[in-house]
Structure 1
């Protein structure tokens, strides 16, 4: 039978398979597409086998797998594409239940891009000097083009030419372990997708925070990427374990909303980004605009659905930049401007007029807005829409003539609470007091409509029960921990390709450098005890988040407007 194993070894070494702890057979061949995938013929073992790395000349053993693999079935002609020192090929990865059906606007393609319980390998090859330059200039926006990418799953090898690679992210490009963006050529697709992001988890020793955020977004029936993992190699260098997400550039919009139909007439996709200094905003703006916004610009402007005025499209373009253009024409901000003007005229008190529900739904998909707000509170996302006017998606559904809201990038959620936030409000079960809920124009006004408040409370009750009370979130954490242990150990053994360039505030520098940058053990990061003041072990977060929400909901059942207090549990 044929044995196949992925291993990154120098030319002075070779790999072999050991059958039943006594017979050694060299695997002298490699796959035509990649030098990482070693292959060779050997008999079927009676009981078990394992892979070893040998000196090519002396055949002395250099390294061996610390476990044995079960003998394949008698009918098996070949092993799967296995990975050296990873004891499993397919893992038991528990998936969260669908708390709610997907929103009607979602018509997602069926795709194998995210396969449950598997971690494919990406091998990117190209000009070494171009790759080195990319890593040495990690703060610059550089595209390295004309690369080759080989995708290796347990049973497939796919080759892609003319691939583009760049460093991605904002804060992550300041870290030693860098994140990447990958773009395939227009003539090639990987299971219907062309653009991807590799999320480094450089500041997350659990390697699960974003996974949990995206998993919960999908469970809430919101438009979002799914999340899986890949092992990355660039040329002859092992880079590490990465989160694998869809980059929200074409063809993502038609894949998410149009079932992949190339004739789908898509609307504009915007992203919301947080505030910046007023001097940057006012440059080039008219005095009329500056006067109108003077109360805002004395502090800061935000992507919080404030009304900037009809003659000030420039500000909307700044705070809601276009991620993808519509199928026809140029991005039109009219629907967004109309909604922010409508929102600015809504009262801060309870509204009971019978036409108010239709008035809101004339502008927005209310269900998507309420679910996204609930998602922020459930995940404790302190860098999302509610708390920070950041990392949200806004889609112009031209068919229904509504704005659709969702979320992305959950790296500051699920137990990570930065010092500038009131931890009691973040952790508290009284979700009305979560940062931003009482102060954001949208969240503070939409819940003044009794029907929306009742719906939102029901969303929180049902999601809390399905995700936390049921134990679903904790079960997913446990299966991810079992699946990722060996890969995290491998990742942490590798030298980074970047440098630490983050100039940290004084109150964070010691905790970040001592705890995060020196590495928190994986088990401790997941299960505790806590070692970083800003990050609670994710299993403990799941327990405390569930308990606090359950306690508040129990107290306020039947009292949708109550703001009763209860003891807050936090790490």
Structure 2
């Protein structure tokens, strides 16, 4: 007898294998109360049992089969998967699969690094890009329905009694979390984005998932490919910047299908630690504000308007996202350090080098890191982002150095999505601003004889390494194959909230590559953007750069 121990997150389960040829099969399924689940190998059904980890995960041992399918068996017959699965000859387990999906793990071409990471990010499976995980929630459905039926109103969290996060190789279980809808303009959509916060109803628990105490499930309700935001986050990481992480998940609540979402970071006290310090706590982490734009006259453009906080419409534009570990921060006082930042920024000596007093390096922790975020905002056409619309960025202070970090986020409206003028694809970066807008942070770099050449070098390097059709096209093709079954499933589900009902279908995945219903395609955008930049700066996108130095992972020095 052979004993195989499979560690699945918080609990380990031991399976007894009868011989070396046996395989542990596992599938997520939603059978009826009187139905059973089996795996069919060589024409024979082998029953699977409910896992003690999750009532919707069915596992069991059966003979090895190069080809196999799962079946749900009921009094009226069998429901067998349409496609045949294939198992490697040396496999002893299938991993956790999902009933009705033809494949679990895909071969997704990686993005080459343009630069090594500037900060040591927390490394884990939060940013996986080659599979779709499953979240199964048992919650107070009455409370959740109340939220979904009036999404624009303020609501408390609905209680999550228990929750399972299941990936191909792991299971994590939680109790006492909370769930409610999330976002700003996304609350006007019929498919709501959601937020899950651990320990909301169990204050003694210290549950985390991938080092996160909360996360968002982004509905991507106005994005037909559901890939733009993921591509942007992965691109920022490949460019060496601190960025939010994400992975796709299918969500079920009380056995009801809610759809496909992009699971991504949400802010909490250790939010910045994950990006900048490998997940280790930094006592130096100060407040984080969220920049937002309401309209061209109310935008987080970092323009100094005097010492009075009332001049900044802070409740809607410069929003306190987190107090960090600074006990002096309050909702009444947080604008003080932010106003000081803007005052100093607007006094920055644009023509100076990094050693000149009063330069940007006295204010920003890393000029290179900030320029990478700006370059990617420009390359992706993030018209609702930090550069064009002065929105959707986090600004975090280091309490010890008094310097600031900038991290951009919210990328569903990138790569041509929502762009009304296709000339934006070919606009030079020197002109990439809204008419009559002020961008002191951007100007500090692109109008500086010292920093502008460095800005151009970052721009060229990112294009040569990965931001081009040669590299991105195979990745989009692989993602299209991976997403199509779950996108088709998602688009077949009924809407649960009032609001805008985008009638996307699986055919809209063509928007990965080309214009669909006036939306510029992702690859179409990248092709036009890179071609125009190459012409404007007189270079080509061939990766003829020297190899990057070996990256030695920085070990954080925790201070708390």
Change (3 A) 1:118 1:524: closer
Q: Which residue of 2 aligns with 1:524?
A: 510
1:165 corresponds, among 161, 170, 179, to: 179
TM-score, with normalisation over the residues of structure 2?
0.83
Q: Is the 8 A contact 1:417 1:423 kept in 2?
A: no
Cα deviation for residue 345 of structure 1 reads 4.4
Q: Is the 8 A contact 2:108 2:478 kept in 1?
A: yes
Q: Which residue of 2 aligns with 1:336?
A: 338
How many Å separate the matches in 1 of 2:90 and 2:106?
22
How many Å separate the matches in 1 of 2:233 and 2:435?
22
Change (3 A) 1:30 1:556: closer
Q: Which residue of 1 aligns with 2:359?
A: 359
Question: Quick check: 400-409 or 157-166, which moved more?
Answer: 400-409
Cα deviation for residue 72 of structure 1 reads 5.4
1:175 corresponds, among 189, 192, 195, to: 189
Name the structure with the higher helix share. Answer: 1
1:452-474 per-residue CA deviation (whole Å, 9 max, x = no partner) reads: 11111222122222223472222
1:97-143 per-residue CA deviation (whole Å, 9 max, x = no partner) reads: 2212323xx23223233334232211000233223223222222321
Structure 2 unaligned blocks of 5 or more: 1-22, 200-204, 542-560
How many Å separate the matches in 1 of 2:422 and 2:107?
35
Paired residues for 1:198-209 under 5 Å: 198-209=217-228
Change (3 A) 1:554 1:469: farther
Change (3 A) 1:531 1:115: closer
How many Å separate the matches in 1 of 2:239 and 2:261?
24
Q: Which residue of 1 aligns with 2:535?
A: 551
Q: Is the 8 A contact 1:7 1:83 kept in 2?
A: yes
Q: Is the 8 A contact 1:176 1:498 kept in 2?
A: yes
In the alignment, structure 1 residue 310 sits paired with structure 2 residue 307: yes
Paired residues for 1:263-412 under 5 Å: 264-275=283-294, 300-312=297-309, 315=312, 317-318=314-315, 319-331=317-329, 332-345=334-347, 351=351, 356=356, 358-365=358-365, 366-412=367-413
1:323-345 per-residue CA deviation (whole Å, 9 max, x = no partner) reads: 11131323354543233223444
Paired residues for 1:13-52 under 5 Å: 13-20=35-42, 22-27=43-48, 29-45=49-65, 47-52=66-71
Q: Is the 8 A contact 1:217 1:407 kept in 2?
A: no
Change (3 A) 1:304 1:133: same
Q: Is the 8 A contact 1:212 1:414 kept in 2?
A: no
Aligned residues: 506
How many Å separate the matches in 1 of 2:353 and 2:59?
72
Change (3 A) 1:438 1:464: farther
Question: Quick check: 81-90 or 469-478, which moved more?
Answer: 469-478
Cα deviation for residue 358 of structure 1 reads 4.9
Q: Which residue of 2 aligns with 1:68?
A: 84
SS in 2 for 1:244: strand
SS in 2 for 1:396: strand
Change (3 A) 1:300 1:151: same
How many Å separate the matches in 2 of 1:389 and 1:145?
35
1:354-396 per-residue CA deviation (whole Å, 9 max, x = no partner) reads: 9757532212233233222211111110000111111011111
SS in 2 for 1:323: strand
Change (3 A) 1:194 1:155: same
Q: Is the 8 A contact 1:428 1:434 kept in 2?
A: no
Q: Which residue of 2 aligns with 1:57?
A: 75
1:401-426 per-residue CA deviation (whole Å, 9 max, x = no partner) reads: 3222221000110111343xx431x1
Name the structure with the higher strand share. Answer: 2
1:284-319 per-residue CA deviation (whole Å, 9 max, x = no partner) reads: xxxxxxxxxxxxxxx823211111212336737432
Q: Is the 8 A contact 1:48 1:68 kept in 2?
A: yes
Change (3 A) 1:66 1:202: same
Change (3 A) 1:437 1:556: farther
TM-score, with normalisation over the residues of structure 1?
0.82
Change (3 A) 1:483 1:226: same
SS in 2 for 1:521: helix
How many Å separate the matches in 2 of 1:476 and 1:119?
15
Please provide the CA RMSD for this pair: 2.7
SS in 1 for 2:144: helix
Q: Is the 8 A contact 1:205 1:521 kept in 2?
A: no
How many Å separate the matches in 2 of 1:17 and 1:133?
39
Q: Which residue of 2 aligns with 1:450?
A: 449
Paired residues for 1:531-542 under 5 Å: 531-533=516-518, 535-542=519-526
In the alignment, structure 1 residue 84 sits paired with structure 2 residue 88: no
